[in-house]
Structure 1
Amino acid sequence: MYAEGNRGDVISDMQQRLQEAGSLKGDIDGVYGGDTVKAVKDFQRSRGFPVSGAIDEVTYRALRDINAGTPAPAVSSGGESYGVGDRGNDVKTIQRKLKRLGYLEGEADGIYGGQTEDAVTAFQKEQGISVTGGVNSETRTKLNEVYVAQTGDYILSEGARGKRVIHLQNQLLLHGYDPGVVDGVFGAGTADAIRRLQDETGLETTGVADEDVWDALDNAPYFRGKYTKTYHMRSTAYTPYDGGGEGHTALGGFAGKGHAAVDPSVIPLGSIVFIEGYGYAICDDIGGAIHGNIIDVGVDTLAQAYQWGTKSRVKVYLVR
């Protein structure tokens, strides 16, 4: 789900589609602000959807059916090179590889924007090749080499251990499929969570994190509508190592996306919540500054924390 406060290439694409639908009159700036909220509400009313002002799964799919910004098969403006402003299936392929390798956050939408440029720059620096922020033949060759060398590691099954399993478990949490303790060990709880995802998304039910499972986890988390209580809370974000932390939550799991710090007197530790604009999280952490009606969402990097920023009012649904 996307909501007020989100920003980036995906939001720009949604704004363009809202303009095509006649709902957005303002600028396309990649910032989900008040004008975008109003436009989403207008679009939802016109389609007979529940009116929330947030882009949930139903609204997202309807907007994706609008042709504006749909990735075209065209070659980039630079022949075999790609940079900001280019779009198409080749760009989407590049983005998916960058996501698999951990350089790109957000959706692989086929639009080469600032986030993709940052991801390419980070990849180039780490691989020791020319740093341009664009994908030329040198970068594409190196990206393919690294991807082929590592992609097999992304097919995970029971018995697997390590950082990729932690990432998998946190992504499952973020999408509402609780694997149990996030401990970096692919056990029965993780396999069961994957089976639930596969069953709900129409995939073969294997309990194995294959390419189709990773593709499903690449999509934005969406709210399934089941909850027992709602809160309007102030929200901040934190990385696993903020404040000299050791990367673990108060309840012992590995921190990051899919986790949140709360005041236990407001939301009990161990609760599962859905946070608009973020996704699902287990409330398994606390903090010295977390008192009263505030929720501190887990992120993986400092850049993601800055992107989330401080939100004065987010809607939080208590699931269980």
Structure 2
Amino acid sequence: MTGCTASKLRVVLPILGALALLPSNVLAQNAGLGAAGELVDPDILRVCADPSNMPFTDKNGQGFENKLAELVAKKTGRKSVAYTWFPTVTGFVRNTLGANRCDIIMGYAQGDELVQNTNAYYRSAYVLVYSKGNGMEGIETIEDPKLSGKRIGVVESTPPTANMAANKLLRTAKIYPLTVDTRVTPSMGEVMIKDMLAGKIDAAVLWGPMAGYYARELGADITIVPLLKEKKGSRMSYRITMGVRPSDQEWKRTLNRVIRENQAEITKLLLGYNVPLIDEHDNPIYAIVGMGEEEDKPAR
């Protein structure tokens, strides 16, 4: 996510009626067909995405949402995946999904009213990131007095800024821009991690998937702490869904079934990108549920 996507961040519903009894191949054959008011392409998975937004999506298909799109296309009987590219800035939904140029946003925070959410397929959190050995060991919340006076990087207007303001940490913070066009500007996640490694900031607070991915990409020996123990202020954890148009009820039900039947594979994909995953009880997820495997633990 860019800073803009992160700012939008503000389990499972049952599959209803006879739909729950239909085999996947029947759902695939009928996805996008015969549902009044639905404009979903039955042959091509038309994805709305940012062209340069790792670890989520990019034009080279290297993001985990690109890989997830390939899985969804296969499971719903689509012949291929096609993208409508648009930077994650103001107007993203209006100019993509809302304009009927594509049929799905692969990653969208649950509860945002601009789209209709599917069931969540992962849950993550904003995290505190700091270099090992800099005296911050043991910090688990923004409220910790050890952070007083520290130069902490944060993206403007994202949920952690409210908590930082309440604890008077914005006075010494470095504020990174909220809205950037990643086609010409590096991801704020990458910039913040590099600034921390260069000593320009003491720590960073950013969306977990970005922190985990860039920590691994940059070979950084850092600690990543999900901010799950905040006693007040904005919540730090969010469920991530797929976003569809409000009119596309049948399409949503089809995607819910894909998520339910392939959750283990989706989880394995996310862990492969070092995404800090948490369950509904705020416990970290390391194991690939139902696959008898264990992934390397994310950087901590």
How would you bin the TM-score normalised by the shorter chain?
Answer: under 0.3
Answer 1 or 2: which has greater helix percent.
1
**TM score, norm. by length of structure 2:** 0.25
Which structure exhibits the higher relative contact order, with contacts defined as CA atoms closer than 8 Å and separated by 6 or more residues? 2
Calculate the TM-score normalised by the size of structure 1.
0.24
